[in-house]
Structure 1
Amino acid sequence: MQAFLAKFYEAVIVAMAVFLLLTLIGLGVQSWRATHYKTQLDNAELKCNQQKTDIHADYQAKAVKAAKDYQEALAKQQSTINQLSSDYESEKAKYKVKVETVTKFVDKIVERDVYRNVCSDDDGLQSINSLIKSRNTS
């Protein structure tokens, strides 16, 4: 019976060694697969980020170009508006009435005072009276 037990234990030890060996090989394969999948995932993530960066840069360049085109069109429109405004103002200035204030000093000697509330002075009153008399006599 000892021979049987020795063979049994030998078979159990061999089976356990094979099981342990297969388990280690299986763990190694699983570890390798996990590493491989992790590498693929990292590569895919890098590729995705690169594509995202490229797309973002492309859209950014298009946005900058569109903004630049808009600014150029706006500047062109503004210069046209400024030119039209300038033309309008120059035409308006041609037809505008110009007022000039001229100041001159004239020496004038006042012989008699003239009042605005009186229609005529003494000489004028004598002339009017003489005309009235001459009409009445004719």
Structure 2
Amino acid sequence: MRRLAILLALLAAGPVLADSNRPAAPLAYSQLPDATQEARAKALMETLRCLVCQGQSIADSDAEMAGDMRALVRERIAKGEQPAAIRSYLIQRYGDYVTYDPPLSWVTAPLWIAPLLLLIIGLLLARRLFRKGAE
């Protein structure tokens, strides 16, 4: 019983250890002085997925990694780099999962094809049920 209590205490302490004690990146929570650059950075950040939260963009996430990614985007935008180049860099570094719009490839084909197949199957089932009801 005592071992179980210790194990549960260790499991409960896991989320406390998720973030480090280091300070946030300089541009993680502050905007760029140039409003045009900040708008481009914000638009790009909305299209990038937080790798920790997975359901949020890096613009919306409070995860430490999302803050680091926001800072990286703002730093590169401030240096004059184009959003498409920054996006390509992040995809190269973290994989296609970092984007909400993965490109069509053999790996992502099921993501694109599955909704179409489910729709076709649903239409065929509905058609069959309506025909049986009309008879």
Q: TM-score, normalised by structure 1?
A: 0.25
Identify the structure with the greater helix proportion. Answer: 1
Q: TM-score, normalised by structure 2?
A: 0.26
The higher-RCO structure (CA 8 Å, 6+ apart) is 2
